[in-house]
């Protein structure tokens, strides 16, 4: 029996957050996975919608795909995950890197989460350790730990594709920031170097694009292009130069608009906190007051 090594991939662009979600599936058996699904959230009104998730679900029905698992590349800080919503719709599992426990501990402290909030990753059905292997139907897959942008970032190798989350962007965009709690420019350099040892033809599926007004968003590159032309970290870039560049750049960046909201939801595998006493669901913003604030 021949083994299919090339998944069919469809990308779903979420214009409000510049994020990509993916379907990757074995075209012969129609079994596949969802990667990094996005929930619609308006921070001004608190309105949550599922337009993007429903668009993916409609495509899954149209293609008649079986989806046993949703894969998160990391605890995103720029968009809310639709993993829980899609898990309920599809009856599947949600998986992420085991490093999410570190992000949960950070979030529990940052948001003073309820005493029962679990920081052992048990909100997810599956926690991947570095190097673990799995299959999407006949397609061989593995998990590469790629910390740096966040401590829990992983890259999923699915056939000839690397779903890198925010570890690498398209060559013109470079790399993601490394200033969130537990992030490290040094770790990101080492993670990207690890990816650069994969075959040059590996397709790179990125987590974001931010096209100019006139341009279309793009999602796919390959390792040869990244090594030659990644504007922040090419094959020729020295470790100390990248770290200095990344840290200087990160000092100039404001937090993502949805940072607080996204973290509180994403460390719960895409669920919201329980209802408050008044029957509403709430997300919190920790304040940073001047030192001598009067009471
Ligand atoms: Fe991210």
Kindly give the distance from the C-alpha atom of residue 229 to the centroid of ligand 1, in angstroms, as a whole number.
22
Residues of the chain with pLDDT under 50: 1-2
* pLDDT for residue 203: 97
Spell out which residues have Cβ within 5 A of ligand 1, the ion.
Answer: 76, 166
Kindly give the distance from the C-alpha atom of residue 200 to the centroid of ligand 1, in angstroms, as a whole number.
24
* pLDDT for residue 3: 53
Kindly give the distance from the C-alpha atom of residue 266 to the centroid of ligand 1, in angstroms, as a whole number.
11
Kindly give the distance from the C-alpha atom of residue 36 to the centroid of ligand 1, in angstroms, as a whole number.
10
- pLDDT of 33-48, one tens digit each? 999 999 999 999 999 9
Its pTM stands at 0.96
* pLDDT for residue 215: 75
Kindly give the distance from the C-alpha atom of residue 28 to the centroid of ligand 1, in angstroms, as a whole number.
32
Query: For the chain, which domains are there?
Result: 8-266 (3.60.15.10)
Kindly give the distance from the C-alpha atom of residue 165 to the centroid of ligand 1, in angstroms, as a whole number.
7
Q: Where are the beta strands (DSSP E) in the chain?
A: 8-14, 19-26, 31-35, 38-42, 47-49, 66-71, 80-81, 93-97, 126-128, 133-136, 139-145, 154-158, 161-165, 203-206, 220-222
* pLDDT for residue 12: 97
* pLDDT for residue 1: 44
Kindly give the distance from the C-alpha atom of residue 180 to the centroid of ligand 1, in angstroms, as a whole number.
10
């Amino acid at each position: 029996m021949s083994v299919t090594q090339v998944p069919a991939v469809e990308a779903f662009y979420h214009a409000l957050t510049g994020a990509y979600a993916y379907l990757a599936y074995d075209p012969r058996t129609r079994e596949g996975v969802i990667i990094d699904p996005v929930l619609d959230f308006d921070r001004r009104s608190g309105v949550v919608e599922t337009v993007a998730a429903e668009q993916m679900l409609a495509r899954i029905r149209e293609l008649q795909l079986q989806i046993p698992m949703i894969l998160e590349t990391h605890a995103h800080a720029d968009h809310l995950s639709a993993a829980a919503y899609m898990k309920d719709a599809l009856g599947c599992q949600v998986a992420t890197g085991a490093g999410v426990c570190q992000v949960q501990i950070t979030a529990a402290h940052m948001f003073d989460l309820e005493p029962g909030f679990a920081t052992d990753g048990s909100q997810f059905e599956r926690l991947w350790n570095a190097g673990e292997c799995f299959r999407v139907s006949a397609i061989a897959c593995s998990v590469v730990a790629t910390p740096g942008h966040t401590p829990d970032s992983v890259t999923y190798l699915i056939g000839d594709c690397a779903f890198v989350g925010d570890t690498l962007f398209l060559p013109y965009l470079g790399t993601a920031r490394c200033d969130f709690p537990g992030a490290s420019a040094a770790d990101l350099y080492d993670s990207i170097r690890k990816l650069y040892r994969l075959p040059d033809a590996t397709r790179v599926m990125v987590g974001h694009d931010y096209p100019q007004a006139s341009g279309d968003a793009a999602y796919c590159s390959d390792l040869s292009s990244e090594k030659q032309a990644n504007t922040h970290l090419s094959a020729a870039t020295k470790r100390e130069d990248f770290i200095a560049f990344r840290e200087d750049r990160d000092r100039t960046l404001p937090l993502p608009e949805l940072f607080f909201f996204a973290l509180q939801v994403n460390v719960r595998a895409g669920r919201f906190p329980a209802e408050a006493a008044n029957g509403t669901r709430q997300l919190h913003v920790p304040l940073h007051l001047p030192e001598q604030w009067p009471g």
